[in-house]
Structure 1
């Protein structure tokens, strides 16, 4: 429930709904005017409920609540990125655990480009017993390309990867520097 807004008028004053005998009663009108100030935020909220359910228009604290409904990533700090995560929650859940989904999660959380390379692969063959692609042990490498030399918090990046990778897949994080070919030390997991 939203807090009361100072001076907010109700679109449906209770005093107007009284029988004629009480309409002229000053005490009844003052009592109901006090109740109107309590009920006015309820009317305003219900009249604008559609805006509360739209992550682009909802108040910031309500966006966090909506994020809980759709299991949007709570680790995102930026209010604009948080709204985007709530708005795109269904789309992001469809690709969760994939390289594309993980790269998108990193982009939304940190505003950087990520490249996810995994050890798996698919193929088809007319020949039985053909060589399988990829490696037998599942693993992935996440390469992060910081934008404009801004540092990426490595601990938070690892937490995000831990929460969104498949549980059986080991990973390595590479935070690339601005100079081509320079990489920070890899963190094998």
Structure 2
């Protein structure tokens, strides 16, 4: 690719007419173009919807997001682009629903025990007399496209800590 900023344009006018100076600076332009062009496009590199596939995984590290290599690139891009919102809702049922909707291409059904627990003291242990659970059923659009281990990891990360869970993947 040609350099968007040829060096000859930045030299005094005396050198602009010199054939040797033009050829000499053109050699540097060829080398510098491979460095300047990516810097000019840095906005596309940090946008997870536009970045090259390897860069999407690198961007995931910026947000502390673990991506499963088996997920389609569309799902990886979606998780990274919505990482801030997903972390904001982490530990809630709404967050679990949203995270699974982003990752799974297909139907997701979630049933939960419901209810809440109240305590008069700060940071209490989860109640032992009430059982909280969530059941997740996933019916992917393309069978085999979803890793059960990856879904388990998503559920563990997105659900409230004290809530038990079960996962069923329906082909």
What is the TM-score with the length of structure 2 in the denominator? 0.72
Q: 1:19 to 1:56 in 2, by over 3 A?
A: same
Which structure has more helix as a fraction of its residues?
2
Over alpha carbons, which structure has the higher Rg?
Answer: 1
- Any unmatched runs of 5+ in structure 1? 1-7, 124-134, 178-189
Query: What is the match of residue 182 of structure 1?
Result: none
TM-score normalized with structure 1 length = 0.66
For residue 106 of structure 1, give the secondary structure of its aligned residue in structure 2. Answer: helix
Q: Deviations over 1:28-57 (max 9, x none)?
A: 443322221121133323333333333222
Structure 1 position 14, deviation (Å): 1.0
Structure 2 stretches of 5 or more lacking a match? Answer: 118-128
| Aligned with 1:85 (options 79, 84, 92) | 79
Alpha-carbon distance, 1:73 to partner: 4.5
Aligned pairs for 1:137-176 within 5 A: 137-147=131-141, 150-151=143-144, 152-176=146-170
Query: Once superposed, what is the RMSD of the aligned Cα atoms?
Result: 2.9
Q: Please say if 1:121 is aligned against 2:115.
A: yes
Asked which structure has the greater RCO (Cα within 8 Å, sep 6+), the reply is: 2
Q: CA deviation at 1:99?
A: 2.1
Counterpart-to-counterpart distance in 1, 2:150 and 2:60: 19
Encode CA deviations 1:48-79: one digit per residue, 9 max, x unaligned.
Answer: 33333332222222222222223345126211
Which stretches of structure 1, 4 residues or more, deviate above 6 A after TM superposition?
Answer: none
How big is the shift at 1:173?
1.8
Match for 2:50 among 39, 44, 57?
Answer: 57
